[in-house]
Amino acid sequence: MNRFIIADASKCIGCRTCEVACVVSHQQVEDCASLTPQNFLPRIHVVKGVNVSIATTCRQCEDAPCANVCPNGAITRHRDHISVEQQRCIGCKTCVVACPYGAMEVVLRPVVRNAGSGLNVLTDKAEANKCDLCQDQADGPACIRVCPTNAIACVDREKLEQLSQERRRRAALDGASMLAF
């Protein structure tokens, strides 16, 4: 089973610190002053409702629909996560349509292209953007490290089983208390 990120809506305050940490951890330059609305492209998104907020991101599916439909094979499995090889991505958006969680998006990134005769041109390239569990970071996903309420966690098979057992136990106790009226 692939690891993935989950968020606890009862703890999330909607501060979007996770989004900022995600962008900073994936930017190419160290200067945070270079962040603009155009290049602020988080791989995790906070969804706010009337009474609740929650961070959402890629579930790193075992049989990833996004990878299955990619015509260029740009979305692949690496150990315990799904990643996008940007050099192969053509920005066709089939992965966006296929993702059952809405965790894939296609974004425009500035790239320098050789226009011939030694002339370089700055253009935009459409490419898939999704959570990669901060695979290039030795200390794991940045969103987890910075969450002020510890609402975000990385879950593996064992942790998922623990959560399931706890929920079954609580449901059984709640059901038993309803019968004891």
In a domain, 35, yes or no: yes
In a domain, 113, yes or no: no
In a domain, 137, yes or no: yes
In a domain, 78, yes or no: no
We report the CATH number of the domain holding residue 150 as 3.30.70.20
pLDDT tens per residue, range 64-112? 999 999 999 999 998 889 999 999 999 999 999 999 999 999 999 888 8
In a domain, 23, yes or no: yes
In a domain, 98, yes or no: no
Name the domain count of the chain.
1
Chain centroid to CA 49: how far?
19
Q: In terms of residue numbers, what domain contains 155?
A: 4-57+131-179
What percent of the chain stands above pLDDT 90?
Answer: 64
In a domain, 171, yes or no: yes
The CB-based long-range contact list for 73-78 (8 Å cut-off, 24+ gap) reads: 74/128, 75/128, 77/2, 78/135
Q: What is the pTM of this model?
A: 0.83
Question: pLDDT grade, residue 179 (50/70/90)?
Answer: low
